[in-house]
C-alpha cells in the first residue's frame, strides 16, 4: 500500500467509524424509542446464551474500533498486530471500502424497513411485527448480513492477525445469534414465521 492510499484509508476510517456508530446504532435506537416508547436495546448482563453472545459481540466491535484507531494514530503499534503481507494491496483496500459502504447502506435500509420492530437483541416482552417487506423479501437477516459484510471489509482493509481472529469470532457469534433469534421468532409468530422461513433464505 503506497502512502497516498494509506492517507486516504486513514481519513476514510476515522470518518466511517463514528458514522457507523451514530447512524446504525445510536440514531435507530433513539428513533424507535421516540416512536414506540420502547427501548430497543435488549442485551442484558445475565449468563443466558443470548446475553453471552451479545457481550462478546460488543467486545468484537470494541476491538475493531481499537484496531482502526491504532492504524490511524500509531503505525508502530499497528505493526505489532502482525499484518498479513500478501493481503496488503490497494485493490483489496478498495474492495474493502466498497464493502463497508454497501454494508452501512444495507443495514440502514433494513433498519428503516423494520420501523418499530427493530431491536438490538431479543425482546421477550413485546410482540413485534414480523417484517417481510423490502430487503426482508430476499434475506431473513439483512442486518446481520450487513454486519458480516462489514467485518469482511474491515479485514480486507486492515489484514492482520488480530482482525482475522475478530472476523472468525464475529462470524461464529452472528451465526449463533441468528439461530437464537429464529427460535424466538418461531415461538412468537408460529406458523407465520415457519412459512416465511420456507420462502426466504437465511442470508441470500
Q: What is the CATH number of domain 3-199?
A: 1.20.120.1630
Cell, residue 130? 414480523
CA 137 from chain centre, in angstroms, equals 20
Kindly tell me if the per-residue pLDDT of 99 is higher than 90: yes
Kindly tell me if the per-residue pLDDT of 88 is higher than 90: yes
| Predicted local distance difference test score (pLDDT) of residue 1 | 76
Report the distance separating Cα 125 and Cα 88, nearest Å: 47
The predicted model gives 135-160 an average pLDDT of 97
**CB distance 113 to 169 below 8 Å:** no
Site of grid cell 469470532: 169
Greatest pairwise CA separation for the chain in angstroms: 56
Report the distance separating Cα 70 and Cα 173, nearest Å: 24
**CB distance 114 to 40 below 8 Å:** no
Please choose, from the candidates 9, 7, 164, the residue with its C-alpha nearest in 3D space to the C-alpha of residue 93: 9
Report the distance separating Cα 16 and Cα 10, nearest Å: 10
Report the distance separating Cα 53 and Cα 184, nearest Å: 15
The predicted model gives 28-55 an average pLDDT of 92
**CB distance 173 to 56 below 8 Å:** yes
According to DSSP H, which parts of the chain are helical?
3-21, 27-36, 49-73, 75-78, 90-114, 142-157, 161-189, 191-199
| Predicted local distance difference test score (pLDDT) of residue 2 | 78
**CB distance 50 to 121 below 8 Å:** yes
Kindly tell me if the per-residue pLDDT of 45 is higher than 90: no
Report the distance separating Cα 57 and Cα 163, nearest Å: 14
pLDDT tens-place string over residues 105-144? 999 999 999 999 999 999 988 889 999 999 999 999 999 9
Site of grid cell 462470524: 171
Amino acid at each position: 500500500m503506497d502512502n497516498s492510499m494509506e492517507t486516504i484509508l486513514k481519513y476514510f476510517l476515522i470518518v466511517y467509524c463514528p458514522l457507523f456508530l451514530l447512524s446504525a446504532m445510536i440514531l435507530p435506537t433513539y428513533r424507535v424509542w421516540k416512536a414506540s416508547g420502547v427501548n430497543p436495546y435488549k442485551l442484558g448482563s445475565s449468563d443466558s446464551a443470548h446475553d453471552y453472545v451479545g457481550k462478546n459481540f460488543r467486545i468484537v466491535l470494541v476491538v475493531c474500533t481499537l484496531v482502526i484507531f491504532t492504524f490511524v494514530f500509531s503505525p508502530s503499534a499497528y505493526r505489532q498486530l502482525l499484518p498479513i503481507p500478501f493481503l496488503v494491496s490497494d485493490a483489496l483496500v478498495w474492495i474493502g471500502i466498497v464493502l463497508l459502504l454497501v454494508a452501512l447502506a444495507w443495514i440502514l435500509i433494513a433498519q428503516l424497513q423494520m420501523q418499530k420492530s427493530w431491536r438490538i437483541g431479543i425482546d421477550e416482552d413485546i410482540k413485534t411485527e414480523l417484517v417481510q417487506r423490502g430487503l426482508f423479501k430476499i434475506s431473513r437477516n439483512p442486518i446481520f448480513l450487513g454486519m458480516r459484510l462489514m467485518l469482511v471489509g474491515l479485514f480486507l482493509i486492515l489484514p492482520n492477525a488480530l482482525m482475522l481472529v475478530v472476523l472468525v469470532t464475529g462470524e461464529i457469534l452472528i451465526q449463533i445469534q441468528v439461530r437464537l433469534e429464529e427460535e424466538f421468532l418461531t415461538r412468537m409468530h408460529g406458523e407465520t414465521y415457519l412459512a416465511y422461513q420456507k420462502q426466504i433464505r437465511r442470508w441470500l
